[in-house]
Structure 1
Amino acid sequence: MKLNEEKYEIIYRKTEEFKQKLGIPKEIKLVLYSDSDYPLDGNNPRGTTVELTQGILDLLGTENEHVLFFMLAHELIHVKYKDTSFKRATWVIMSECGNDKANALICLMEMRANVLASSLVGLSESEIRDGQAFLQRVNNTSEGKASFVKGYPDRQFIADYCVRFKDFTEVIVDEILMDFKKIMNVNTTDFSEKVKTIFFKKCYPK
């Protein structure tokens, strides 16, 4: 169901603001997601719909409002880089080059969205750390290696990188992959180079 534009005027304005800053020309449809979980889910066939749960919408006007804007920006960055369609293709990659590479690719896509979203919204260090801690509490998501096994960095990892970096460069990619290898006990010599090649070729649409 499409979000009420009058009731959620601020969210629509923020969406347009973020779209302009990100250079997204296409229209973004904001819809209410029926599940009760907090996360936004921008995954859809065309990559032009962002689904918001009532839980995340209820943060509007609260002390955690910045979490809503962070997550909105996060999903719009996925739209910008067409991550939604590529994520489905990672299941093919998993069968071709192994789970660790596919998980590392998803990790890079998520970290790009996290770092750039924090920068786009203009979050302070305390807002970043408090926001990620808040999401950890409400979602009760996995931590440490258990999270990385699913291809997603844990909240502490996200917070640390978002505090340190405001852009997403090859230097950051190298560091994330180095940390990923340590956490996942990956010892393959050319692992990082192979993942980087796929990431920069497939995850930066022309």
Structure 2
Amino acid sequence: MARRRPRWYFSFRSPYAWMAYRDLMADHRDVADRIDWFPFWEPDAEAGDRLEQAGISLPYVAMSKEKHLYILQDVRRLARDRGLKMVWPVDREPRWEVSHLAYLVADELGRGREFIAAVYRARWEEGQDISDPAVIAGIAERIGLDPVRLSTACTDPAVRERGLEALDSLHRDGVFGVPFFIDGYEKFWGVDRLPGFVSSVRSRTS
């Protein structure tokens, strides 16, 4: 069996994934071009029911107040260390399919990287609500894609099926959080594990 390409799982929801993305693109672009990129998100009720019927359980757990407060402090510290100016977004009615399924469409059209950059900027630097289809439509326009197609991706049955396949992939890979990096049998979880992943990938592709 052929060895799978190195890969990383990202989420637009996670500030740690945003910082890992920034680090990856700023300092390790050669590795970014050698790996596969997979989205990770919490499914809505419909997708959750489909996954349950297929015997797929995803490792989501409720966050305690103490952990939430720690993350607020930790993220501010990490952003400051990187010289990043961030805005903590307010998610009133998050629908993560809106942005992550739109990514699948953008990636199919060859503009996945541009879409990721624009969504991360909108969420973590401008404080926009990426669960709002209008925000996704605006991002699509800015990167030269059909705003209607991307902003309605979450209602397209074919795209939703692809979304289920993506969630099944993270289930099979044993992904339990983001950012999550995999190279062969080696797994790396967390933004602070990115250097180890980079070294692993470079050691066998140099």
If the TM-score is normalised by the length of the shorter chain, which range does it land in?
under 0.3
Q: Could you tell me the TM-score, scaled by structure 1's length? A: 0.26
Q: Could you tell me the TM-score, scaled by structure 2's length? A: 0.26
Q: Which has the larger helix fraction? A: 1
